[in-house]
């Protein structure tokens, strides 16, 4: 019979390292309620300021809860992680701009900036200083991953073949994530919860939060995957699917530069039309605007668009 387990965040780890011993052993079909810390390792509070961003220093590694050993999981299998529920454990979230760390260059955003969000109603995240901006809360784990096959400590910052820091905003309630198994027991770890994020996470942070994640863990023997896959329960972007969008576009021979220009144009639009500061506009793009590849076949130019749901202005 399936069992529900609880795993606190009193102990966390900060790297992918397959030598870290499992904190919990479960059977396929079991459910685990994970407590997770936010990506700042609880450095920020609801009263933190811009100066705190500069004082913090660079991210050394995300605090991850786990690993969880799944009985019977072997290299060549696929771990199935179903997202049953994710809820904030604090009444606030945060988004930070660190000069030189986002999509747009340091020359355009040379100052440290911190946006505190009010998450207290559980449905809408509101900017502390602009109550007329409310982003639907669609929580998901920024990091979900199995142990890597390679020995040693590996950074949690980039996404990897084991999953890791994918920042996939569609890993919301009802989604099933399929992860490759590289080591016996799979050794699943999770963390870096987000209350909301746009595709691209352009300023390098989403609405970061501490969370409680309820995940059902299952196993598909003999199904080998090269990299993660997922199946959503229904349509994507459900919270903002109804209502108008404003989009900017950019074309060129470099997709990265196209993404930069589309984002830059959207920041400029929000400053001009919505009277936001440049930093507020950049943060809003990061937490709710979606970068999309419009076409990648009409050489020599590719096209990128940045879509902002206008129902966040209430």
Do 173 and 275 lie in one domain? The reply is no
Do 166 and 201 lie in one domain? The reply is yes
Please check whether residue 147 lies inside any domain of the structure: yes
Q: Name the average pLDDT for the chain.
A: 96
To 5 degrees, how large is the angle CA 256–CA 260–CA 262?
115
Residues 6+ apart with CB under 8 A from 272: none
Which ranges in the chain belong to alpha helices (H)?
50-56, 255-274, 278-288
**Burial environment of residue 101 by CB neighbours within 10 A (0 to 12, 13 to 18, 19 or more):** middle
Please check whether residue 231 lies inside any domain of the structure: no
Residues 6+ apart with CB under 8 A from 55: none
Q: Is 168 helix (H, G, I), strand (E, B) or coil?
A: coil
Q: In this structure, what DSSP letter does residue 128 have?
A: S
Do 67 and 132 lie in one domain? The reply is yes
Please check whether residue 238 lies inside any domain of the structure: no
- Which of 193, 223, 253 lies at the terminal end of a domain, its last residue? 223
Bridge partners (DSSP) listed for residue 245:
309
Please report, for the domain that includes residue 279, its CATH number. Answer: 3.10.28.20
- How far is 186 from 184, CA to CA, in rounded Å? 6
Do 181 and 260 lie in one domain? The reply is no
Do 13 and 138 lie in one domain? The reply is yes
- Long-range Cβ pairs for the range 237-245 (8 Å, 24+): 237/290, 237/309, 238/138, 239/136, 239/138, 240/136, 240/288, 240/309, 240/311, 240/312, 242/311, 243/309, 243/310, 243/311, 244/309, 244/310, 244/311, 245/307, 245/308, 245/309, 245/310
Bridge partners (DSSP) listed for residue 252:
302
What is the phi/psi pair of residue 239, to 5°?
A: -70, -25
Q: Are 149 and 130 in contact (CB under 8 A)?
A: no
Predicted local distance difference test score (pLDDT) of residue 239: 55
Do 187 and 255 lie in one domain? The reply is no
Do 259 and 164 lie in one domain? The reply is no
Predicted local distance difference test score (pLDDT) of residue 58: 85
Q: Count other C-beta atoms under 10 Å from residue 169's C-beta.
A: 23
Q: Which tokens sit at 292?
A: 């999309």
Predicted local distance difference test score (pLDDT) of residue 238: 60
Please report, for the domain that includes residue 189, its CATH number. Answer: 2.60.120.580
Predicted local distance difference test score (pLDDT) of residue 48: 98
Q: What is the pTM of this model?
A: 0.96
Q: Provide the greatest CA pair distance for the chain.
A: 59
Which ranges in 91-220 belong to alpha helices (H)?
none
Summarised one tens digit per residue, pLDDT across range 49-78 is 999 999 998 888 999 999 999 999 999 999
Predicted local distance difference test score (pLDDT) of residue 103: 98
Range of the domain at 295: 243-312
Please check whether residue 10 lies inside any domain of the structure: yes
Please check whether residue 236 lies inside any domain of the structure: no
Q: What is the mean pLDDT of each run of 10 residues along the chain (314 residues)?
A: 95 98 98 98 98 93 98 98 98 97 97 98 95 96 98 98 98 98 98 98 98 98 96 73 89 98 98 98 98 96 98 94
Do 67 and 159 lie in one domain? The reply is yes
Do 167 and 292 lie in one domain? The reply is no
Please check whether residue 120 lies inside any domain of the structure: yes
Please check whether residue 105 lies inside any domain of the structure: yes
Number of domains in the chain: 2
Do 179 and 249 lie in one domain? The reply is no
Please check whether residue 233 lies inside any domain of the structure: no
Do 169 and 120 lie in one domain? The reply is yes
E strands, the chain, where?
A: 4-7, 24-26, 31-36, 64-70, 78-88, 92-97, 113-118, 124-127, 134-136, 140-145, 159-160, 163-165, 176-180, 188-194, 211-220, 229-231, 245-252, 290-295, 302-309
Do 255 and 217 lie in one domain? The reply is no
Predicted local distance difference test score (pLDDT) of residue 237: 60
């Amino acid at each position: 019979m399936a069992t529900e387990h609880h795993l606190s965040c009193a102990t966390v780890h900060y790297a992918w390292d397959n030598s870290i011993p499992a904190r919990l052993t479960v059977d396929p079909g079991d459910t685990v309620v994970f407590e997770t810390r936010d990506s700042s390792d609880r450095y920020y509070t609801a009263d933190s300021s811009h100066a705190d961003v500069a004082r913090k220093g660079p991210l050394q590694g995300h605090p991850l809860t786990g690993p969880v050993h799944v009985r019977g999981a072997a290299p060549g299998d696929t771990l199935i992680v179903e997202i049953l529920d994710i809820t904030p454990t604090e009444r606030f979230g945060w988004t930070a701009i660190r000069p030189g760390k986002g999509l747009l260059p340091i020359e355009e955003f040379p100052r440290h900036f911190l946006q505190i969000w009010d998450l207290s109603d559980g449905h809408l995240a509101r900017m502390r200083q602009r109550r007329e901006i409310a982003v639907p809360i669609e929580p998901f784990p920024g990091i979900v991953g199995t142990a890597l096959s390679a020995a040693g400590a590996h950074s949690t910052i980039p996404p990897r073949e084991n999953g890791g820091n994918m920042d996939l905003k569609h890993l919301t309630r009802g989604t099933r994530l399929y992860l490759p198994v590289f080591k016996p027991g799979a050794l699943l770890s999770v963390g870096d919860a987000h209350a909301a994020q746009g595709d691209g996470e352009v300023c390098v942070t989403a609405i970061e939060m501490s969370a409680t994640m309820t995940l059902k863990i299952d196993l598909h023997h003999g199904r080998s995957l090269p990299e993660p896959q997922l199946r959503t329960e229904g349509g994507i972007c459900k919270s903002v699917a109804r209502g108008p969008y404003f989009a900017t576009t950019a074309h060129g021979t470099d997709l990265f530069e196209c993404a930069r220009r589309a984002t830059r144009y959207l920041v400029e639009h929000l400053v001009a039309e919505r009277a936001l500061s440049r930093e507020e506009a950049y943060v809003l793009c990061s937490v709710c605007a979606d970068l999309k590849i419009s076409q990648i076949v009409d050489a020599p130019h590719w096209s990128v668009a940045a879509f902002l749901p206008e129902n966040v202005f209430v």
